[in-house]
């Protein structure tokens, strides 16, 4: 249904007032060959993170989640922001005004790790399910510390007494990542579009029934939760393999346009091209956060941005001006070098001084 609405140019407000019958009729005229279905049910609460409608807030209906081996992140922030927020999502936001930020500073664990937000549901496969989401990378993990990293959207389901996870993965734009996540008996992956750069949204729209049948060989199942966030394979403790992504328009719907698993929704090419042109720095939209690195390369002291946006110096002096460098892909600075609390004052990634 998401593709139908987007092709019609309808936002979420328009979806509420447009009837399924009218939308299907228009779609049949506009989209030759499309098969409209009587559908439209959205099974997720707050799919576009518009609630509670304030900046730096936990999205209504979603809870912070840890994936795989990550049990104690140094810092994890999952909050909604709009254009007026301290850390706004890259423009244009796909649906509505708010997007979800997943800001993750890793703990000490190694191997496959992840963080994000999760929503519990109870949806049987008889609902002719489609799953879709929008994601954007704003800071990717350093390839010296991970073999791969990126955005993940996970659908957990039960079938025959077994709990399984189907994960959609968008690999980060770092060119020297090696490999992608691999399947296990109970967790399987569909590798989607790789991010082109920071600040450029990607969209995914999938026939969930077909994907689960193809990967797991089952047709009778019940969806129990949906999670979106960051995922990486950590292979070294240094440098810190921190990540930041934004998500929007995460939908689990009943039916819609007759899409296939290889028929993603149309990209917002023109708008994204404008975003790319506006991103004049080597790391694209990464300039939205600008902490400074201590000028001495050997120093481990880092400056932390306070919630008021000012830079707090933590020991050694920093240079008075910041610039982006072609290698500005290092992890966000930490407020300290120890501990695993996720409530410390937040720091900010990306721009480095020198």
Other beta carbons within 10 Å of 297: 7
Bond from prior residue into 52 cis (ω within 30 degrees of 0) = yes
List pLDDT tens digits, range 77-122. 999 999 999 999 999 999 999 999 999 999 999 999 999 999 999 9
Rg (C-alpha) for the chain, rounded Å, is 20
User: Tokens 């990540």 belong to which residue?
Assistant: 243
Partner residues linked to 79 by β-bridges: 101
What integer pLDDT is reported at residue 15 of this predicted model? 45
CA angle 253, 255, 258 (to 5 degrees): 130
List pLDDT tens digits, range 27-45. 333 333 333 334 579 999 9
String of DSSP letters for 194-205: PP-STT--EEEE
Residue burial 263-278, b: 16+ Cβ < 10 Å; e: rest: ebbeebeeebeebeee
pLDDT at 299 over 60: no
DSSP letter at 354 equals -
What integer pLDDT is reported at residue 2 of this predicted model? 54
User: Which stretches of the chain are assigned E, i.e. beta strand?
Assistant: 63-68, 75-81, 99-105, 111-124, 129-139, 146-159, 162-171, 187-191, 202-207, 222-234, 243-254, 304-305, 311-312, 322-323, 352-353
Domains contained in the chain, CATH given: 38-278 (2.60.120.260)
3-state secondary structure of 71: coil
CB 127 within 8 A of CB 222: no
Q: What is the mean pLDDT of residues 227-242?
A: 98
Confidence of residue 130 (pLDDT cuts 50, 70, 90): very high
List pLDDT tens digits, range 194-222. 999 999 999 999 999 999 999 999 999 99
Ranges 185-189, 212-216, 257-261, 296-300: which has the least confidence: 296-300
Distances (CA, A) of 293 to 19, 202, 206, 310, 324: 54, 30, 42, 14, 11
List pLDDT tens digits, range 51-84. 999 999 999 999 999 999 999 999 999 999 999 9
Centroid of chain to Cα 203: 10
Q: What is the mean pLDDT of residues 122-136?
A: 95
Statement: the pTM of the whole predicted model exceeds 0.85: no
Give the C-alpha separation, 260 to 258, whole Å: 7
List pLDDT tens digits, range 235-277. 999 999 999 999 999 999 997 543 444 444 433 333 333 333 3
């Amino acid at each position: 249904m998401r593709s139908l609405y987007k092709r019609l140019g309808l936002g979420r407000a328009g979806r509420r007032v447009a009837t399924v019958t009218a939308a299907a009729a228009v779609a049949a005229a506009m989209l030759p060959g499309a098969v409209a279905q009587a559908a439209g049910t959205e099974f997720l609460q707050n799919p576009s993170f518009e609630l509670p409608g304030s900046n730096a807030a936990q999205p209504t209906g979603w809870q912070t989640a840890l994936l795989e081996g990550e049990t104690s992140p140094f810092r994890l922030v999952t909050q909604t922001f709009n254009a007026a927020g301290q850390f706004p999502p890259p423009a244009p936001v796909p649906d509505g005004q708010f997007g979800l930020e997943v800001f993750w500073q890793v703990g000490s664990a190694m191997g496959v790790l992840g963080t994000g937000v999760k929503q519990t549901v109870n949806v049987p496969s008889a609902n002719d399910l489609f799953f879709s989401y929008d994601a954007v990378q704003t800071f990717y993990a350093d390839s010296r510390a991970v073999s791969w990293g990126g955005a993940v959207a996970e659908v957990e389901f039960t079938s025959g007494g077994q709990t399984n996870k189907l994960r959609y993965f968008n690999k980060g734009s770092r060119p020297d990542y090696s490999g992608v996540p691999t399947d296990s008996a109970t967790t399987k992956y569909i590798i989607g579009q790789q991010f082109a750069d920071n600040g450029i949204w990607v969209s995914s729209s999938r026939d969930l029934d077909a994907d689960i049948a193809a990967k797991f060989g089952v047709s009778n199942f019940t969806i129990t939760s949906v999670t979106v966030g960051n995922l990486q394979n950590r292979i070294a403790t240094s440098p810190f393999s921190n990540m930041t992504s934004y998500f929007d328009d995460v939908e689990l719907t009943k039916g819609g346009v007759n899409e296939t698993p290889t028929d993603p929704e149309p990209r917002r090419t023109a708008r994204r091209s404008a975003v790319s042109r506006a991103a004049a720095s080597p790391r694209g939209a990464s300039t939205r956060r600008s902490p400074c690195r201590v000028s001495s390369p050997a120093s481990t002291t880092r400056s932390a941005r306070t919630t008021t946006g000012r830079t707090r110096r933590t020991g050694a002096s920093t240079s008075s001006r910041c610039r982006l460098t072609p290698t500005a892909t290092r992890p966000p600075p930490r407020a300290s070098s120890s501990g695993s609390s996720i409530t410390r004052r937040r720091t900010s990634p990306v721009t480095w001084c020198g």
